[in-house]
Amino acid sequence: MAKSLSERVVASGIRAMLAAIVVLATLAASPALAADAQVKIANFTFDPPILTVKAGTTVTWVNADDIPHIVLEKDGKFRSSALDTGDKFSQTFSTDGTVEYFCAIHPHMTGKIVITP
Amino acid sequence: MHEINLVADDPKNEGDDSGLSRRGALKCMVWAGTGILWTVSGGVPKSLGLLGDALAAVPTGFSFFQISDSHIGFNKPANPDALGTLREAIGKVKAVKFRPAFMIHTGDITHLSRADEFDNAEQIISEAKLNVHYVPGEHDFVDEGVGKAYLDRYGKGTKGQGWYSFDDHGVHFIGLVNVVDLKAGGLGRLGADQLAWLADDLKDKSASTPIVVFAHIPLWTVYADWGWGTDDGLQVLDLLKRFGSVTVLNGHIHQIVQKVEGSMTFHTARSTCFPQPAPGTAPSPGPMTVPADQLRSVLGITSVDVRIGDRPLAITDTTLAE
Facing residue for B185 by CB, picked from A43, A82, A110: A110
DSSP B129-144: -S-EEE---GGGG-ST
pTM comes to 0.80
Torsion sign across C-alpha atoms B154, B231, B299, B59: negative
Q: Are B85 and B273 spatial neighbours (Cβ–Cβ below 8 Å)?
A: yes
Which segments of chain B does DSSP mark as H helices, in order?
22-32, 50-56, 82-95, 115-125, 148-154, 192-202, 233-240
Q: Does A46 touch chain B (CB under 8 A)?
A: no
* B60 domain residue, yes or no: no
* B145 domain residue, yes or no: yes
B258 three-state secondary structure: strand
Q: Which residues of A touch B78 (CB under 8 A)?
A: 66
Residue B192, domain CATH: 3.60.21.10
Q: Which residues of A touch B187 (CB under 8 A)?
A: 107-108
* B309 domain residue, yes or no: no
Q: Are B171 and B141 spatial neighbours (Cβ–Cβ below 8 Å)?
A: no
pLDDT of residue B63: 86
- In this model, does residue A17 exceed pLDDT 80? no
Q: Which residues of A touch B183 (CB under 8 A)?
A: 107
Residues 251-310 of B with CB under 8 A from A: 283-287
How far is the C-alpha of B104 from the C-alpha of B132, rounded, in Å?
A: 5
Nearest of A10, A101, A1, A81 to residue B146 by alpha carbon: A81
pLDDT of residue B281: 96
Range of the domain at B294: 65-300
In Å, how far is A36's CA from the nearest CA of chain B? 25
pLDDT of residue B263: 86
Q: Which residues of B touch A44 (CB under 8 A)?
A: 226, 284-286
Nearest of B237, B221, B239 to residue B229 by alpha carbon: B221
Facing residue for A44 by CB, picked from B179, B224, B285: B285
How far is the C-alpha of B277 from the C-alpha of B286, rounded, in Å?
A: 8
* B79 domain residue, yes or no: yes
pLDDT of residue B299: 96
pLDDT of residue B137: 98
Could you tell me which chain B residue has the CA closest to the CA of A41?
A: B284
pLDDT of residue A51: 98
How far is the C-alpha of A94 from the C-alpha of A56, rounded, in Å?
A: 4
pLDDT of residue B140: 98
pLDDT tens sequence for chain B (322 residues) = 333 333 333 333 333 333 333 333 333 222 232 233 333 333 333 333 333 333 334 445 578 999 999 999 999 999 999 999 999 999 999 998 888 899 999 999 999 999 999 999 999 999 999 999 999 999 999 999 999 999 999 999 999 999 999 999 889 999 999 999 999 999 999 999 999 999 999 999 999 888 999 999 999 999 999 999 999 999 999 999 999 889 999 999 999 999 888 889 899 999 999 999 999 999 999 999 999 999 999 999 998 877 654 444 568 888 998 8
Domain topology for A35-116: Immunoglobulin-like (2.60.40)
Tell me how many domains chain B contains: 1
In Å, how far is A104's CA from the nearest CA of chain B? 6
Q: Which residues of A touch B112 (CB under 8 A)?
A: 68, 82, 84
* B312 domain residue, yes or no: no
Q: Does B321 touch chain A (CB under 8 A)?
A: no
Among the ranges given (A16-20, A43-47, B230-234, B245-249), the one the predictor scored with the smallest mean pLDDT: A16-20
* B34 vs A7, residue with greater confidence: A7
* B59 domain residue, yes or no: no
Q: Which residues of A touch B185 (CB under 8 A)?
A: 102, 107-108, 110
Residues 7-66 of B with CB under 8 A from A: none
